[in-house]
């Protein structure tokens, strides 16, 4: 589906299914509401899928990878060679996301959407080559990419959502890898929220105080040079975004169009989700916010969409690691909803 047709096909979730889920939750052998947010997760799943007994038997986390020309400005503690090296680590199952995805029973799909490296004819389960750019340009000097390239990156995410929904996957998680990608994310955060660069810029991969001061100045320069338009999310992506951020935006749009729940990872993933939300606010109904990142700008993005994170574990790795953990918690909520006996089934007296 094209971007326009996807946007037109997205509706708010169905309140009737949420009501039916609530009725079942209130009939289970527990005081009403006593399982807290686990009940909310189950109810949201029922409303999204329009199925009173949904399944989460096939789960997948998409880790979008892309490079950033702004890495040349010393905004990261790691060199940009780490992006392709980590892609290969993902593919071989050795990264944090692989460990936590195995824990949650999720598949990992690594998407080369913008890595400045030729992976040749790498044929490995879980690796998908959808390269639109070989790294974005240095946004301190001009736009990251053309508007057409940004739209193509969004389309990659939409196409993956369509493809994996057809394959029977019932829940998606978002993740990313790209050295220096907290810089474009901080730019988007400042522009959209109107908050100062200092307020929303964190240490990313763990830079020192001097590098943080440099990063703040670089971000201010990026905004002055590119003048991204907060009223035009695709303009923002083209001028200052990353290929992986755009891919995540497309995945969220595609998930909503396919009525598939999507679990948003940390700071960078949430920037992608915000772009989707700005394109079509109804996408919010289909999102779960996995966790609160240690990156200081993350809270502002979640607040803009009125999303409450499931976990708060001081994590800031990205890759989809928070999404993998949150999927386990969401699944626990669904199991409570489906497997707990009702008062009638257990012959337990209800409250007066």
Catalytic positions are 319
Helix (H) or strand (E) holding 130: none
Tokens of 33: 């509401």
- Give the CA distances from residue 200 to residues 185, 212, 226, 319, in Å, rounded to whole numbers and listed in that order: 10, 12, 19, 21
Q: Cα torsion for 41, 348, 346, 337, to the nearest 10°?
A: 0
245 and 184 in contact (C-beta within 8 Å)?
Answer: yes
d(C-alpha 23, C-alpha 338), whole Å: 13
Asked whether the beta carbons of 158 and 1 are under 8 A apart, the reply is yes
- Beta-carbon neighbour count of residue 220 at 10 Å? 17
Instruction: Report the C-alpha gap between 126 and 62 in whole angstroms.
Output: 9
Distance between CA atoms of residues 151 and 275, nearest Å: 12
């Amino acid at each position: 589906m094209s971007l326009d047709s996807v946007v037109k096909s997205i509706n708010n979730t169905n309140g009737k299914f949420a009501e039916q889920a609530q009725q079942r939750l209130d009939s289970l052998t527990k005081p009403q509401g006593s399982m807290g947010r686990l009940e909310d997760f189950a109810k949201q799943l029922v409303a999204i899928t329009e199925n009173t007994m949904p399944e989460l038997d096939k789960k997948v986390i998409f880790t979008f990878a892309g490079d950033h020309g702004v890495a040349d400005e010393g905004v990261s503690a790691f060199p940009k060679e780490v992006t392709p090296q980590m892609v290969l680590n993902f593919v071989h199952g050795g990264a944090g996301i692989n460990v936590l995805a195995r824990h949650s029973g999720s598949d990992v799909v690594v998407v080369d959407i913008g890595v400045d490296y030729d992976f040749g004819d790498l044929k490995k389960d879980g690796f998908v080559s959808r390269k639109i750019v070989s790294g974005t340009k240095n946004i301190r000097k001009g736009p990251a990419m053309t508007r057409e390239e940004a739209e193509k990156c969004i389309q990659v995410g939409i196409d993956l959502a369509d493809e994996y929904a057809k394959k029977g996957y019932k829940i998606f998680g978002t993740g990313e890898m790209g050295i220096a990608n907290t810089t474009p994310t901080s730019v988007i955060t400042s522009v959209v929220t109107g908050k100062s660069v200092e307020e929303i810029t964190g240490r990313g991969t763990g830079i020192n105080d001097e590098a943080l001061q440099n990063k703040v100045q670089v971000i201010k320069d990026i905004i002055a040079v590119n003048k991204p338009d907060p009223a035009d999310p695709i303009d923002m992506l083209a001028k200052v975004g990353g290929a992986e951020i755009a891919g995540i935006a497309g995945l969220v749009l595609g998930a909503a169009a396919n009525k598939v729940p999507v679990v948003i990872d940390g700071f960078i993933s949430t920037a992608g989700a915000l772009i989707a939300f700005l394109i079509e606010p109804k996408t919010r109904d289909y999102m779960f916010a996995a966790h609160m990142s240690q990156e200081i700008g993350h809270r502002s993005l979640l607040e803009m969409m009125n999303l409450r994170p499931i976990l708060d574990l001081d994590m800031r790795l990205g890759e989809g690691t928070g999404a993998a953990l949150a999927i386990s918690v969401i699944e626990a909520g669904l199991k409570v909803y489906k497997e707990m006996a009702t008062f009638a089934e257990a012959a337990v007296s209800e409250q007066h």
